[in-house]
Each structure stands twice: as C-alpha cells, then as structure tokens.
Structure 1
Amino acid sequence: MLAVLLGVGLLVGCQNTSKSSREAAAPKPTQEQLQRVGLLNQAADDMYSKVMQGDYAGGRAILQQLGVQIPQISYEGITSVDGLNALTETVTEANKVFNSVRFSPEEGQISAAKIRLATDALTHATQPMWLQYYKLLQEDMDQLEQAAKEQRKAGIQKGVLQFEQHISVIHPSLLISRELADVDKLDSLVSFVSGQARLEQENYKQITNILPTLRQHIDKLFMKKEATAYLPVIDQQNPIIWTLAIGSFIIAALAFAGWRLAKKDNGVIPVKRQDAD
C-alpha cells in the first residue's frame, strides 16, 4: 500500500511540475484570434439551432462552412493540440453523419450538440456550457450505483450505456478545456465500468467499489471544490485485496496517461489555453 501511495505522489508531483511549466510558457491569444473563434462559435450555434428545428439541409450547409473556417484559425493560447484535434475530429464525424445515405436525425442532433459545446468551450474558458452536464452525470451514476446494489444486471447495462452517451457528447469539450492526462484517466475509469457491466458473470461489487473513484474524478473535471470525499465500499471478506486492486488500477490509469503525454509529438508540450475568458 505504501508503494502505491508513493507511486501516486511521484506521478502527481511530476504532472504538477509539467502543468506549471506549461502555464508559464502559454502565450495569450490575440484579439484577431478571439474574434475568429467567436465567429466560429456563432456559426456552430446557428447550425445547432437549425438542426434542432429540423432544418437539416441548413445545418449541413453551415457544417461545411465550419470545415472551411477551422483550419484558418490559430488556436495558440486558446487550446492544446489535443483540443484542436478533438474539434476537427468532431466536425469530420459530423460530416459523415450528415452525408450518410441513411441520415439519422437523432445522430445529427448529437453531432450538432458536440460541435456547439466544443466551440463554446473555446470561447468560454471558465464557464463553458458543458459544465451543465454535471447534474446529468451525477444522476447517471446514482442510477448505476442503485442498480448495482440491487444486483439488476439489465439496469446496470442500461445505466452504463446512458452514461457513456452523455460522456461522448462532452468528450471533445473536455479535451479542449482540460488536461489530456485527466481526460485519459476518465476514459480509463469509464472503460473499466463498461467492461465490468458487459461481462457475463455478475460483478456488482466491482462496479460499486470503483464508482467513488469515478465520482471524485468527475468532480475534479467539473471543478467542484466542495466535492464530497467518496469512500469505496470495501469487500469485508478481502479488504486488503480490494484496497490494493483499486490503488493499482488508479496507478495504471495515471501511468498510461503520463506515458501518452510524454510520447505525444516527440515530447513537445502543447500550448495550454488561458484560465480566464
């Protein structure tokens, strides 16, 4: 257990040092950059409005304009390379949806929402709209926890699917607004819960025990300073094994995130956006 705690401390210390260095070196965006991003955000808002009103042809036309606008903007000081990649990938995926032979209005609305939240995250660093998803994710986890306690497999699978869908809508925005390592850890935790829910054997206790860690990390991503210190429900028959298992999982998730950050772009640290709007 001591080794686990020391490992977490060393990794967190290295990440904090790296974060401080990036913040010190991050340039401020120019007025021209901010104006261009503002126009991009307005276009995304127009697209979302048209799609939600059923004007899919109009939404598709604006989507094409976004594809032209995005490469013409410099995002230095606004978001990281990962954030820019997330934005462009989201637009690329939306093009596939809107140009599909069998167009799905529901998928079109989801794509429009992803783009709308992503561009808003570029223009509102401190209070982006995706923060409104906090309550929704909390309700998802409450339902998932209740289903696990009641050992309802169908309820767990339904809850996990709903939770994954909500995370997917804000995922591009997370990459724009937050550190890559933190988003990677969220992905690892969600993947673990999803994997347990899809196993044939019953794994209710594993889900119950990992949910407190997932809650804490979501609190961190949503900047909830008043976050509750959730405690995992330890298996009374094997408390030491469960403690080590959860600690090892967290170490693995953080180590993987750190490795990706170090290897990305040959070690070049991407520019971090400003903390204030």
Structure 2
Amino acid sequence: MRVWRVWSIFFCILIILAITEPIDKTTAAPTSWTKQTAKIEAFVQDKKWKAARNEIRKLADSFAQADFTDYSISVEAVHVLSESIIRTDQALSQVKLNPRSVQWEANRLHLAFDALEHDHQPQWHQMYEIMEKDIQEIKAGIKANQSDVVESKIGQLRHHYEWIYPALVIDRSQTTVKKIDSLMIYLDKQVKEGNMENLMPAVEHFQGLLYPLYYGPESDVSAWVQEEESINTLVIIWLGGMIVLVLAYASWVMLREEKRRQERVPRGQV
C-alpha cells in the first residue's frame, strides 16, 4: 500500500513537471523588453488598445520572472521600471481612455527600457535640445519679468523632466537624481511665490548641469554636483557667520543702551 502511494506521488510530480512551462530566459532580458515596449508604443500610436493591453501584460509577466542577479541594476531602477509598467497598464485600462495620456506613458516606458538596454546613446538623450530650449525660454522670461511666461515654461521643463525620469534613474546615480529633483522643487517654489530674483541663479545652475547630465560620464556629473555643493556650503557658512555677527552686534547695542539707561536713572530710583 505504501509503495503504491509513493509511486502515485512520483507520477503526480512527473505530470506537474510535464505540464509546467519552463521560464524562457531569452524573453526575460533587456533586449526583449525593449522590443516589447516598442511594440506597445506602436500599438498605442495606431490606437490598437487591446493589442497594447495584451503586450503590456506579457511584459509585466516577463519582468516579474526576471533574475536580476545577472544584471548591474539598482533597486531604484527595478522599482521605477515596475512603476512605469503599472502606470502604462493603468492608463490602458481606464474606462474612458485618454489617448494623449496613454501615448505619454507608453513613450516614457520605452525610454526607460531603452536606457536599460543601451549604455551608450540611449534614446532619452534626444531630449537634451528640447530641455535646453526650455531653459533658454525661462531665462528670457525672467529677463523680461514675464512671470506668466516663466511659470508656463517651468511647467514645460518639469513635464519633459518627468518624461525622462525613469531613464534617468537607470542611467545616473541617486545623488544626481536627487540633486535635480531638489532643483525642480526649488524652481516650482520660487515661481509660485513670485520670487523672480531668485530664479535666475537656480536656472543657470540647472543649465550648467544639463550637458554633463546627458553626455558626460557619471564622474563628471558627480564632480559638478559636488563642486556646486561645496560652493553652496561656503555661502551658507558665510551667511551663518554674518548672522552671528549681526546678532552679536545687536546684543552689544542692546546691552550698551541698557547700561546707559541705568546710568541716567538716579541710584535711589533703580
């Protein structure tokens, strides 16, 4: 009886192994994923929504089965790629589908996976001239004191930055990405508060970082960021020192005036 049970279990295992499809590692690789995102982009362009939905779900399954131990990829990059897949799937699954939103998400997704596959000359580098133009238009608006134009152009710069953001996370260090995030937040804050005089230095800062960000090695970008941070640190130290001096002088003046007041008051009335 026991022998029969053992053989039954053994045959069940054989059946399960026979009907289970092995994971094809050739379909769980950056080259295959980039091709899939290109197909999704093409389907979206042709408004073949069902085909695009089927392809994004195939991509999601393949990506979920991937073994990333063979690839040099950060945890942040895996997260941003997963998020890009989910966002595109959600855009395609809306009851009232927005073609422009779906197109944007599909393009963004393709740029991200293209960056994963291509270390040199990824497609997101094509955005350099567009973002450089954004910055030039922002600077022109600041010089002309046109706050509405500046706000519109900064919004446009942010839109383009968000478009390449997943690719940037894959290609660049987290230090660099956080630096640019901080710059974008600062620009948004200054324009919303109407601080036009504070915008130009920040915009020029962004412009100086733009070329090494796109075309320089990571060491050049990091060096530029560290140099700017060193300058900012010195400025902060100088400002801190000036504040201490002003407070010290104010305290000294107050103390001197208090002593003079006491000297003017007769001793008996103190």
Relative to the length of structure 1, the TM-score reads 0.67
In structure 2, what is the Cα distance between the partners aligned to 1:224 and 1:247? 27
- For 1:217, which of 185, 192, 209 is the aligned residue? 209
Equivalent position SS for 2:68: coil
Equivalent position SS for 1:222: helix
- For 2:58, which of 58, 65, 73 is the aligned residue? 65
Q: Which residue of 2 aligns with 1:196?
A: 190
2:28–2:62 contact (8 Å) kept in structure 1: no
Q: Which amino acid aligns with 1:70?
A: F
Instruction: Tell me the CA shift for residue 221 of structure 1.
Output: 1.6
Relative to the length of structure 2, the TM-score reads 0.69
Q: Which residue of 2 aligns with 1:50?
A: 43
In structure 1, what is the Cα distance between the partners aligned to 2:115 and 2:198? 34
Q: Which residue of 2 aligns with 1:267?
A: none
In structure 1, what is the Cα distance between the partners aligned to 2:234 and 2:203? 11
Q: Is residue 2:96 matched to residue 1:91?
A: no
Q: Which residue of 1 aligns with 2:112?
A: 118
| Runs of at least 4 residues off by over 3 Å | 32-35, 224-227, 243-248
Cα root mean square deviation, aligned: 2.4
Q: Which amino acid aligns with 2:49?
A: Y
2:38–2:110 contact (8 Å) kept in structure 1: yes
CA deviations 1:33-81 (Å, max 9, x no partner) are 7972211111111000111122222212211111111111223433211
The structure whose RCO (Cα within 8 Å, separation 6+) is larger is 1
In structure 1, what is the Cα distance between the partners aligned to 2:187 and 2:131? 14
Q: Which residue of 2 aligns with 1:7?
A: none
Compared CA separation, residues 244 and 120, structure 1 to 2 (3 A): closer
CA deviations 1:200-242 (Å, max 9, x no partner) are xx32121111112111222222124899xx9xxxxxxxxxxxx
2:33–2:113 contact (8 Å) kept in structure 1: yes
More moved, 71-80 vs 139-148: 71-80
Give the structure with the higher percent helix. 2
- For 2:174, which of 180, 183, 202 is the aligned residue? 180
Instruction: Tell me the CA shift for residue 157 of structure 1.
Output: 1.2
Aligned-residue identity in percent: 20
Q: Which residue of 2 aligns with 1:155?
A: 149
In structure 2, what is the Cα distance between the partners aligned to 1:244 and 1:177? 26
In structure 2, what is the Cα distance between the partners aligned to 1:246 and 1:99? 51
1:33–1:75 contact (8 Å) kept in structure 2: no
Structure 1's unaligned 5+ residue stretches are 1-31, 231-242, 249-277
CA deviations 1:106-159 (Å, max 9, x no partner) are 100010011100110111012211011111100011111111111111101110
Q: Which amino acid aligns with 1:218?
A: L
1:121–1:130 contact (8 Å) kept in structure 2: yes
In structure 2, what is the Cα distance between the partners aligned to 1:123 and 1:189? 28
Counterparts of 1:1-277 in structure 2, within 5 Å, are 36-76=29-69, 77-199=71-193, 202-224=194-216, 247-248=235-236
Aligned length: 201
1:33–1:74 contact (8 Å) kept in structure 2: no
Structure 2's unaligned 5+ residue stretches are 1-24, 225-230, 237-270
Compared CA separation, residues 197 and 117, structure 1 to 2 (3 A): same
